[in-house]
Structures are given as structure tokens and as C-alpha cells.
Structure 1
Amino acid sequence: MNAQTSTATQKHRVAPPPHVPGHLIREIDAYDLDGLEQGFHEAWKRVQQPDTPPLVWTPFTGGHWIATRGTLIDEIYRSPERFSSRVIWVPREAGEAYDMVPTKLDPPEHTPYRKAIDKGLNLAEIRKLEDQIRTIAVEIIEGFADRGHCEFGSEFSTVFPVRVFLALAGLPVEDATKLGLLANEMTRPSGNTPEEQGRSLEAANKGFFEYVAPIIAARRGGSGTDLITRILNVEIDGKPMPDDRALGLVSLLLLGGLDTVVNFLGFMMIYLSRHPETVAEMRREPLKLQRGVEELFRRFAVVSDARYVVSDMEFHGTMLKEGDLILLPTALHGLDDRHHDDPMTVDLSRRDVTHSTFAQGPHRCAGMHLARLEVTVMLQEWLARIPEFRLKDRAVPIYHSGIVAAVENIPLEWEPQRVSA
């Protein structure tokens, strides 16, 4: 028996429930995808074969359904009355330990909390931040541009969006490391069994709450202009936001700001380092860069969250039972060739770009305007100073799957630009 087979055999699995037919069972581990070493998106795309059913069931991570087509992913996100957010992560033990709002709430309870978040993250407010975001991007890039190389993950992608968000939230940049470790355990909880993963996530969730509790106490009733103060002091149904909801909401802001864009940037830059023709097109046609950001988000979705089946139903020909969980790998919407021709290729001229990278429906990502602006500004300033770059020869990125995918080891190199005297 080879090592790969042995590892697969040792994975924690559960028996399928009676309503799951054998022909829909696939051994897919969302935290350890087959072929992950070749790339996170490539591994998920291998699942999406022409004969793959639109819903499959896996015995790993506690046993759950997986939506494999964009149409289903979109529909499930938009249907909270049938597919609840009460448990949004797999395994179930991790999802039940997750205690941040408003992501785990359904309408109408969800609505006032979402309005509170939108007060600070709406498009008009985010546009005011462009100069600040640009200044941060330029400072970081100019710190290594003349050197001719950088480790993109540690020197840029884990620094730039974190600095932007901590400044927006009025928090010290020195806290980034601690918060980053907690975020990692939230989105890729450690453990070999669902119970162990649940305990890891619970501990990280508690760590966030302990961090934000004194911040909430200090800013409650305040008049500051930082994101936390503005959102915290929005009334919910005519009353101050309850303390337990405030803990969850502020923690969610930090989690979202410190993990998703960080990892998206890594996947994006690996691709661009291997496709100089796409980089040249961005430089040649700046408008294509701006419009093409949505194509980049389509191609490099990183989130795979879940929904809870509210009641027994038949859904796209499959019988679902109340309490079933359905994993929604957002990458599989953007990579669905029934929606996009040649989906693995970044096409800056692509029209009718559709994806669920920011989810859909009432839980559509409140931070999407900030994410779009960060990526646009970053590319503009990067290409102005580093117009051509490549992945270092023989470099092998290390990919991680989970609720939010991640990638490490992205050494980039380039010829420093020479300024004429």
C-alpha cells in the first residue's frame, strides 16, 4: 500500500445516511483535496467532470453534500428560506462552534446587522479610502522593487490588506500576527477529526472575542470615525446592539479583513507570474486592468462555506433531509464551463462574468467594494514599478484548502527598473 492510499484510508469518515444513494457518493475532503499540490483551483476543477452529478455526498469532514455546479451554488445562496446559515462551515462541529454575526443569522434577524455593517463598508465610503490605500500599496512595493525579488506572501499579501483594514478599524498594526493566527484556525481549523476541528475553531472564536471585548467597551457610545466605532453604535431595532452580537460582529469584521483578500492575492499573483501576456495586456490597456478585476475574482475564488437544509425536500432531483449540510465551493461557480468558455484562463475581455466569489443573496460579502478597490490599486501600483515579474525558477507554491483556501511560498523575481540620469 502506497503512502497516499494509506493516508486516505486513515482519514476520518462516516457512513452515508439511508437517503444518500451510492452513485452520488464521492470521496472529496474539502480540507485535503486530491491533487491539491498542483493547485487549489485545479483540484476543485478535477471534481467538476462532465459526468459529475450537480450534488454529490462525501463521507469526509463529518459527511455532507457538495454542490458542484454554478447554478446550484447561486440558487442555494439566494434561498435562505430553504438553506439556512445557522451552520455555515463543515465539519458540523466547527460550524456549530462558529459564533459570529451576521453570517450565521437568517433574514429577518440578519437584516439590521447587515445594515450596520453596510454603513461603514458601502461603496461611497470605500471610495473615500482610495488615496490611503494607494499610499500603503506604494510604500510596501517601493520597499522591495529595487531589490529585484520578494517573497510575495510574507512581504506583500499578508501585509497590504491587513494594514489597510487595521487602519480602517483603528487598530494597531502590531496586532496583525496574533489576529492572523486566530484567523487561520477559524478558516482552516486544525485536527484529524470533526470533533478536534470543532474544538480548534471554538478556541479561535473565543480568542477573537477576548481580543475585541475591551475594544467594544472602549468604543461603545463613542464618536470616532473608525469602522468599529461607526458600526458598533448603530441601533438594532431601536436599541443599542447587544453585547453578544457586538462581539460576533466585530470579530467577523476582523476575520473577513485579515484572511480572504490576503489569500486571493497569492493565487492571483502566481497565475500572473506564469502568464506575462496577461500582465502585458494590463499594462498596455489600463482600462482592461480595471474592468478585468472582476474576471480575476471569478477565476480565483477562495471561500467554501456551507448551508443547512431547513426541511426535507427534493432539490435538482436529489432527496435532501432536514439538517443536511451542503458545501458551496465558490471556485466551482467561477470555473464552471457551462457558464464560461475556457474557465481556467483569465480573459480580460470576457463578457457576462458571473461568479459567487462574494456569495449571493442576503449574505453577499459586505467587504466586496473594499476588496475590489484593494486589488485594483495594488495592480496599478505594482505594474507601475514592477512591469514584468516571474515565479522563481523551481519554486513550488504550497496550497491549503479549507473554508478559505490559502497558498504559501510565492518567491517572485524581476529585473529592477533603471532610472536614467
Structure 2
Amino acid sequence: MATVAPVKDPGAPKPDHVPADRVYDVDMYALDGIEEGFHEAWKALQKPDTPSLVWTPRTGGHWIATRGAVIQEIYSNPDRFSSEIIFLPREAGEKYAMVPTRMDPPEHGPYRKILDKGLNLAQIRKVEEHVRSVAIELIEGFAAQGECLFERDYARIFPVKVFMAMCDLPMEDAPKLAELAEQMTRPAGNTPAEMGASLDAANQGFFAYVEPIIAARAGGQGDDLITVMVNSRIDDRPMDHDKVLGLISLLLLGGLDTVVNFLCFMMIYLAQHPEKVEELRSDPVKLMRSAEEMFRRFPVVSDARMVAHDMSYQGVELKRGDLILLPTALHGLEEASNPDAWDLDPGRKGIAHSTFGAGPHRCAGMHLARMEVIVTLQEWLKRIPDFGLKPGSKPTYRAGIIAAVDNVPLVWGNDAQLLFASK
């Protein structure tokens, strides 16, 4: 890929064990060509002659996995690829202190069970009525206007309002938490040290926010997510305070950023492909089953793993402490894994992706995310069956641990009919 200009850092020196032909100039926070799309920018790296592992001097210097099978294998093997550092640059990953995402098995297991207690499929089904009521209220609030700015009027409210209610937190706190999440997943700074400082400040901001909430709910009998988790036990004893801070902070981080951005990518595509909208509208069963294909087509996460010990892997020598970025877009959009991968096929069989990760750290919130996607599609298409991107608009894409997109103006009614007629 061509050098991004201006680059965020001057670049780390190439380690001796990295072959010169594996060096590619890729900045995960400033992808070349991202103005044309986040997924398009990552996919440009995945050429037939691109090795399965490449190394970039950007963001402190790290490897990048470029093949779906390699991404999934690294996610699935914590004995070789540790979660000790999962955020890049290293200076940021070392400051990241949320639980249990930085833990490896067997330490990870008991904390993951606590997350699953509140986020398993049976528990999520209990909140479907609330999820649906939030979606309906938002959509009906602007349906008659013939337009909306999707990220402002829906995506940044719907999943956040659902999650804040599940945690029994006031919605007025959401903007503050969203800003903290922004600095965790797309930290500000022009150097790895500055980005590390931004992430550390955000991490500490989460801890400061949840500290009094934890104290207030300790020993409580409520059924909200925070109360359930705060009062859970590890090996029949209360959790250590630092672990409680990390667990509740992770809960909020996971619920306040990922689905927000995923929904925006999904709706941009549907706004540009009315034939796909019609396919979903005409078959309610296909619509419900389409969620997995949506997640395959629009992955937003690019986190990392740390090499646990020296090894030979994928034709190169890896050293303990090396970091490997796992852009999930390069699995879901890989032709070898999903033929005709750019096409959104609601009836696709044998879907392969790493959008929720894999292995012991597979996303605990995936059941809630699926429900939110299905409910959004169902309730939106009931009320706004035909829609498109506002003429002349151009979404703005941002890369990071979680990709983001802004400026998604949608139009419907007479404006949408004129738009489709002109195509």
C-alpha cells in the first residue's frame, strides 16, 4: 500500500527477524484510501501475492494477519497468541486494564462466565420487548420528516439507550461514556506515547465513573447487569476490587461503541442497494436470518494478540512480545472464505467470518448485537420501506480498534423515489 501522508509517527525500525519483503506501510488508524470506505481500504491490502503475515513500521511496529484462516487461528489459540496486549500501539495496549479481555485461560474463564450470566441468549430474549420499543419510538420520531442523519438520530441512540437501561444507568450519562469509548478505540495522538496517554486517561475515566456505582450496588438484589455482575463470585469469594472495576468498565465499553458504528455501515450499504432492501422486505424469515451475513459483510473490529513465545509461523520467525493485528474485515471479505464476498447475500450458506472473534474471547455481547440488528431491520422497513443516501452526501470513515463512520444522511418518501428514478 502507498504511504499515508501525513503519517502519524515516523515508523519503528525493522527488527532483525522481520524479512524485508514482509514490510508493508500500513497505518491502522490512517488507512490509505479510507475516504472511499473503511472495508475497501483494508481489502486493498489483501492481494493474491500479499503474504499471510506482513509487518508494518506504523503504530509502533507490528505484524498484520491478512488471511481469514490465520486471523481465526490466532484468535482461537491463546496458548500461542496471548491477550496480554490486545490494543495497538503497544503503549496503549499496556495501559488497557479491562477484564477479562486481557486475560488468558484458565484465569479468563470465571470472569467470562460472569459476563455470560447477564448476556447469554436466554437473558437477551427477555429484553426483546424493550429493544423493540426503543427502536419503534426512535423511528416513528422522524419517519414523517422524510429524512434523518442516521448516526445522530438512530445509531448513536438506539443501542446506547438499550444498554443503559439494561445497566440501570441514566441516559444523560451516555455522551460522557461515548467520548471515553471513542478515546479507547480510536485514541488521539500523533505518536504511540501520546495515543497510550489518551487511552490511559479514558480507561481511568471509565474506572472513575463506575467506582461509585459499584459501591452503591454491592450487596444489592437488583436484576440489572451491573448489580448481577458486581455481586458475582470467583471461586466462591468476592471479586477483587480492581477486577470489578475492569469488568464493569468493559461491559460499558462493549455496549456503547461497536453496534453504533456497525449499524451505520449496514445502512449505508442498504441505502445504496434498494434491491437488497426489497429482498429483505419480501421475506421475513430471510430478514431474520440475514443478521449473520450482515456481520460478515460489515466487520468493524481490528484488535491484536501478543506472541506468547518464540516460534516459526506462516513462513516467518515470531518473537515473544511481537504484536499481530487481526483486521476482521479481511476474513469476512475474503473470497476464499466467502465467494463473491462484496455481495450481501441474505441467503448465503456456510458464512465464514471473525466479526465476533473466536476462541475463549468470542464476543459476549453477540446475542444482543444480533437482536439489535434484526429489530432495527424489522421496524425500519415496516415504516420506511424505501430509502437512500441523500444526494451529494459522502460518509466520513475513521479506522481504529473499532471503525467508525459519520455523515450518513438518509432520505425517503418523494426524495427517495426521485433518487431511485435517477439511477
TM-score (norm 1): 0.97
Structure 2 counterpart of 1:363: 361
Are 1:330 and 2:317 counterparts? Answer: no
Distance 1:358 1:9 in 2: 30
Please report how far the alpha carbon of residue 215 of structure 1 lies from its aligned counterpart in structure 2 after TM superposition. 0.3
Q: Tell me what 2:421 maps to.
A: none
Instruction: Work out whether residues 146 and 416 of structure 1, in 8 Å CA contact, stay in contact via their aligned partners in 2.
Output: no
Name the Cα RMSD after superposition.
Answer: 1.2
- The answer on whether the counterparts of 2:9 and 2:59 sit within 8 Å (CA) in structure 1 is no
Q: Counterpart amino acid of 1:167?
A: A
Contact conserved, 2:306 with 2:322, CA < 8 A, in 1?
yes
Superposed, which structure 2 residues align to 1:305-316 within 5 Å? 305-316=303-314
Structure 2: distance between partners of 1:200 and 1:127: 37
Residue 13 of structure 1: aligned partner: 11
Aligned twin of 2:379: 381
Look up the match of 2:319: 321
- Tell me if the contact between 2:328 and 2:354 (Cα under 8 Å) persists in the aligned partners: yes
Deviations 1:393-414 (Å, cap 9, x if unpaired)?
0101000000000000000000
Residue 11 of structure 1: CA displacement? 3.5
Structure 2 residue aligned with 1:57: 55
Q: Is the 8 A contact 1:145 1:416 kept in 2?
A: no
Aligned mates of 1:384, 1:240 — CA distance in 2: 47
Query: CA separation of 1:17/1:416 partners in 2, compared to 1, >3 Å: closer, same or farther?
Result: same
* Cα distance in structure 2, aligned partners of 1:334 and 1:406: 18
Matched, 1:184 2:185: no
Residue ranges of structure 1 left out of the alignment (5+ in a row): none
User: Residue 100 of structure 1: which of 98, 101, 111 is its match?
Assistant: 98
Q: Show the counterpart of 2:206.
A: 208
Paired AA for residue 400 in structure 2: G
Query: What is the aligned partner in structure 2 of residue 148 from structure 1?
Result: 146
Shift of 1:238: 1.2
> Is 1:397 aligned with 2:395?
yes
**CA-to-aligned-CA distance 1:371-419 (integer Å, 9 cap, x gap):** 00011011100000000100000101000000000000000000079xx
1:254 to 252, 255, 268: 252
Find the aligned partners of 1:362 and 1:77 in 2 and give their Cα distance: 8
Q: Secondary structure at the match of 1:14?
A: coil
Counterpart in 1 of 2:418? none
Matches within 5 A, 1:224-239: 224-239=222-237
Task: Note the C-alpha offset of 1:317.
Answer: 1.5
Structure 2, unaligned runs of 5 or more: 416-423
* Partner residue in 2 for 1:161: 159
Whether the 8 Å contact between 2:64 and 2:325 is mirrored in structure 1 is yes
Aligned to 1:97, the other structure's residue is in SS state coil
Deviation, structure 1 residue 7: 2.5
State the match for 1:294 in structure 2: 292
Q: How many residues align?
A: 414
Q: 1:252 is matched by which residue type in structure 2? A: L
Name the amino acid aligned to 1:314.
S
Contact 2:29 2:186 in 1 (8 A): yes
Q: Pairwise mapping of residues 16-35 of structure 1 onto structure 2 (< 5 A)?
A: 16-35=14-33
Q: Confirm or deny: 8 A CA contact 2:43 2:330 kept in the other structure.
A: yes
User: Would you say the 8 A contact 2:71–2:328 is kept in 1?
Assistant: yes
Deviates more, 1:141-150 or 1:338-347: 338-347
Runs of 4 or more consecutive aligned structure 1 residues displaced over 2 Å after TM superposition: 4-12
Distance 1:280 1:61 in 2: 43
CA–CA distance in 2 between the matches of 1:84 and 1:388? 46
TM-score w.r.t. the length of structure 2 is 0.96
> For 1:218 and 1:349, how far apart are their aligned partners in 2?
48
Stretch deviating more after TM superposition (257-266 or 5-14): 5-14
Match of 2:242 in 1: 244
CA displacement at 1:9 relative to structure 2: 5.9
By how many angstroms is 1:6 displaced? 8.3
Choose the corresponding residue for 2:218, options 211, 220, 223: 220
* Distance in structure 2 (CA, Å) of the matches to 1:134 and 1:140: 10
State the partner residue of 2:420: none
The SS at the match of 2:55 is strand
Partner of 1:198: 196
Secondary structure in structure 1 of the residue aligned to 2:60 = coil
**Maintained 8 Å contact 1:147/1:416:** no
Q: Which amino acid aligns with 1:95?
A: G
- Report if the CA contact (8 A) 1:27-1:59 is conserved: yes
Matched residue SS, 1:102: coil
Q: Give me the identity figure in percent.
A: 61
SS in 2 for 1:264: helix
Contact 1:339 1:354 in 2 (8 A): yes
Q: Which moved more, 1:8-17 or 1:286-295?
A: 8-17
- In the TM superposition, residue 221 of structure 1 has moved relative to its aligned partner by 1.1
CA 1:275–1:102 in 2, change beyond 3 Å: closer, same or farther? same
Q: Secondary structure of 2:124's partner?
A: helix
Distance 1:6 1:326, change over 3 A: closer
Residue 339 of structure 2: aligned partner: 341
Q: Provide the rounded CA distance (Å) in 2 between the counterparts of 1:72 and 1:283.
A: 36
| From 114, 132, 135, the counterpart of 1:134 | 132
